[in-house]
Structure 1
Amino acid sequence: MRLAKVLGQVVSTIKGPGLERFTLLLVQEAAADDPERDGGPTLVAVDTVGAGVGEIVLVVTGGAARVAAGADVPTDLAVVGIADTVVRSGTVSYQKT
C-alpha cells in the first residue's frame, strides 16, 4: 500500500465494463515524510471507499487493486482506505481535520 492525496475527479460518461459503478479519482503519491506534500506522479484510481478531494488515502496497485475493486474491473490502482492519522518515527506527520 501507498499513501496518496486526492486532487480531484476524472469524469467519464463512457467506461469499460465493470467501471460503471466507480468514481475515478485523480491522486498523487504522497511524500514519505509529509503526506500532504507532493511526492510523485499524478494517476487515476478507482475509488472503493468514497474518498474526497484533499484527503490522504491508501492506494493499492496491480492484482491487489483488481481484488479490491472486484475481479471483473480493469484497473491497476484502487483507493482502499482514508487515512485519519499518519505517525512516522513516533511523530504525527498527518492528522485529518
Structure 2
Amino acid sequence: MIVGEVIGNVWATRKESTLSGLKFMVVRYKDPVAPENIKSFVAVDCVGAGTGEQVLVVTGSSARMAIQIEGAPVDAAIVGIVDEVQVISE
C-alpha cells in the first residue's frame, strides 16, 4: 500500500467504456521518512476522498479488485482515508 495526499481531480469525457462512472484523483506520494518526494499519479477513488486528504492506495491487481470491474484498465485505486500516520524513528 502507498500513503498519499489527494492534490486534484481528473476529468475525462472520453475514456474506455469500463471506466465510465469512476472518479479519478491526482495523488501525490507521501513518504513520512523522506517528505521531499513529490511524485504524483492518477488513482480511481473507491471511498469518496477529497482534495487535501491523506489516502491509502493500492496498485496492480489489487487496484482492479478494489473497483470490482473485470478487465478495467486500472493500476491504482484509493481504498482508504488516513486519520493519522505515526512513525517511530530510532
Per the TM alignment, residue 33 of structure 1 is displaced from its structure 2 partner at its CA by: 3.0
1:38 Cα offset (Å) = 5.0
Alignment of 1:36-75 (within 5 A): 37-70=35-68, 71-75=70-74
Please state which structure has a larger fraction of its residues in strand: 1
Deviation, 1:32, is 2.5
Sort the Cα spacing of 1:79 and 1:38 in 2 relative to 1 into closer, same or farther, 3 A.
farther
Aligned length: 88
Runs of 4+ aligned structure 1 residues displaced above 6 Å come to none
Q: Please, which runs of 5 or more residues in structure 1 have no aligned partner?
A: 91-97
Q: What percent of counterpart residues are identical?
A: 40
5+ residue gaps, structure 2, are none
Correspondences of 1:1-97 after superposition (within 5 Å)? 1-33=1-33, 37-70=35-68, 71-89=70-88
